Structures are given as structure tokens and as C-alpha cells.
Amino acid sequence: MPRAKRFFTADLHIHSCLSACAELDMTPKRIIRRALAEGLDIIAIADHNSCENLEAALGLARETGISLLPAMEIASAEEVHVLALFDDPQAAFGMQEKVYASLPADLENDPAFWGEQVVVGEDDLVLGFNPRLLAGATGMPLEGLVSAIHDLGGLAIASHVDREAFSVISQLGFIPDGVRFDALEVSRGRVPSCVEASGLPAVRSSDAHRLESVGKQRTRFLLEGASFSEIALALKSEDGRKAVID
Ligand SMILES: [Zn+2]
Ligand SMILES: [Zn+2]
């Protein structure tokens, strides 16, 4: 017998202090506290080409009961940002390995120019700084990147398709036939006609780089529970599940 469904509120694109462009107080602890205050049920911390704050975030999420999906925002070789969501943390770490192997080895972060890339523990203590320039393009072409995410059991969502930089539309002008996105992310305002024409589900997330932005853009998912597998089913509109953006 199917379980009863209800709406769960999600913000699936939040940067932590590991992203150089995010504010330093974006620690997993403060993000989760803010997400709870915003009434969010499901969140994903998606840093640029890395998930080194995932362990702390998962530990804190377990304590608070919020559902946290392992994630990363990966830049393809074409500089298309793709949100990668996973069920299994080990799959996210596996993806991180592939991403690190395809990032230019010789590019170092200049904290004075780009900002620090901070790895933190559950207690907000600094564990270290990632020395590589994480935010740039990987060597992974878009189609291969999306396939690699799927091979690890993940979902691939095209980031902020309505923005003028680092989106599949801004970089390529269209969504190539061979690229099998699971959803398209819209930042704010009206859903662009290219999203409606794509036949793919639209989601909305904050892409928060500061605490005040967490949950300010959100998607409501009609689900049987707050889990990765339920979201995957909702993106396929299985059995009455769905993603709703206002
Ligand atoms: Zn982005
Ligand atoms: Zn982002």
C-alpha cells in the first residue's frame, strides 16, 4: 500500500565556506541552523567541484533531523555548472575524486583574490584550507560529466539555466540532445520558455552564498518521505509525486 504523501520544502543548492565565493560564516552548522529556521525539510550543500564539508554536514544533519543530500556543483569543460546530488556519501566522494583528477593540477587558489576555501568540522572549527583553485572548469565535457554522475547513482540538474553566466543556455545556447539532465534549475522569476519546452521538470533553489539567502528560493516536493530516492521519483512524476515551484 502506498504511504501518504505530503509536501516537503527543499533548497538543494547552498554553498558553504568551502566555496571561495561564499561568506566565511557559511559553515555547515550555521547553514543547517538557518535552514531549520526557514522551515526547510531537505537541503543540499553544493560546493564548487568539491564536497569536503560533507562529513561535518551529515553529522549535524543526523543530530537535527533535517534531510541533507550529498552534493556538489561541478563545472564542465564548457563552464556549464551542473548540480550533482547523490544518495550515498561514498558516491559523492567518488565523484569528487573524478573531479579532482580532471581539474588543472597547477592552479592554486589565491585567497586574497578569490577568498578562502575552508574545510570545517561539526563544531565550526577550521580543519584546513583547500589549496587548489576549485571554482574553475574541470576537463569533463558536459555529456560525459552528466553520465559520470548517473553512473554513480546521482541526479544531474542544470544549474541556474536562466542566468547569463555558467549555465547550459549561457554557454551553449541550448540543451544538447545527448545530455540527459534530470531537472533544470531556475533561479527566480518566471520560468523561461526554454525550460517549459524542454519537457524536463523545473526546480528552484537559492544558490545561497550567504546565510540570509538560505531557503529564499525553494522547491516544494510532494513525496512519501524526505529522501533522495523520493526526490528522484518526483522528478519523474512517479505515482503522484511532483516538484512544484511558485
Ligand atoms: Zn553556479
Ligand atoms: Zn552555485
Residue 167: the pLDDT is 95
Residue 27: the pLDDT is 98
The confidence band for 233, taking pLDDT boundaries of 50, 70 and 90, is very high
**pLDDT of 2 over the 90 cut:** no
Whether 117 is in a domain gets the answer yes
Q: How far is the CA of 42 from the centre of ligand 2 (A)?
A: 17
Residue 190: the pLDDT is 85
- The mean pLDDT of 86-93, rounded to a whole number, is 98
Whether 70 is in a domain gets the answer yes
- The mean pLDDT of 15-27, rounded to a whole number, is 96
Compute how many other C-beta atoms are within 10 angstroms of the C-beta atom of residue 165.
9
Q: How far is the CA of 73 from the centre of ligand 1 (A)?
A: 7
Q: How far is the CA of 223 from the centre of ligand 1 (A)?
A: 27
Q: How far is the CA of 74 from the centre of ligand 2 (A)?
A: 9
Q: How far is the CA of 132 from the centre of ligand 2 (A)?
A: 18
Q: Quote the pTM value.
A: 0.96
Q: How far is the CA of 85 from the centre of ligand 2 (A)?
A: 13
Nearest ligand, CA of residue 19? 2
Neighbouring residues of 70: CB distance < 8 A, sequence distance ≥ 6:
44, 51, 54, 58, 85, 86, 87, 88, 89, 91, 92
Whether 69 is in a domain gets the answer yes
Name the β-bridge partners of 84: 72, 156
State the total domains in the chain: 1
Whether 32 is in a domain gets the answer yes
Q: How far is the CA of 165 from the centre of ligand 1 (A)?
A: 8
Q: Are 76 and 167 in contact (CB under 8 A)?
A: no
Q: How far is the CA of 104 from the centre of ligand 2 (A)?
A: 20
Residue 74: the pLDDT is 98
Rounded to an integer, what distance in angstroms lies between the CA atom of residue 89 and that of residue 44?
A: 12
Neighbouring residues of 140: CB distance < 8 A, sequence distance ≥ 6:
74, 76, 77, 98, 99, 102, 148
Whether 58 is in a domain gets the answer yes
The residue range of the domain holding 50 is: 6-244
Q: How far is the CA of 30 from the centre of ligand 1 (A)?
A: 21
Q: How far is the CA of 167 from the centre of ligand 1 (A)?
A: 7
Nearest ligand, CA of residue 22? 2
Whether 217 is in a domain gets the answer yes
- pLDDT tens, position by position, 141-189: 999 999 999 999 999 999 999 999 999 999 999 999 899 999 999 998 8
- pLDDT tens, position by position, 61-72: 999 999 999 999
Looking up residue 19, the CATH number of its domain turns out to be 3.20.20.140
Whether 172 is in a domain gets the answer yes
- Please state the φ and ψ torsions of residue 15, each to the nearest 5 degrees: -95, 140
Residue 181's region, left for phi above 0, alpha for psi from -120 to 50, else beta, is beta
Q: Are 74 and 166 in contact (CB under 8 A)?
A: no
Cα 23 to Cα 4, 123, 183, 225, distances in angstroms:
39, 17, 27, 32
Whether 1 is in a domain gets the answer no
Residue 189: the pLDDT is 81
Strands (E), the chain: 6-14, 42-45, 67-75, 81-85, 118-120, 126-129, 155-158, 183-186, 202-204, 219-223, 242-244
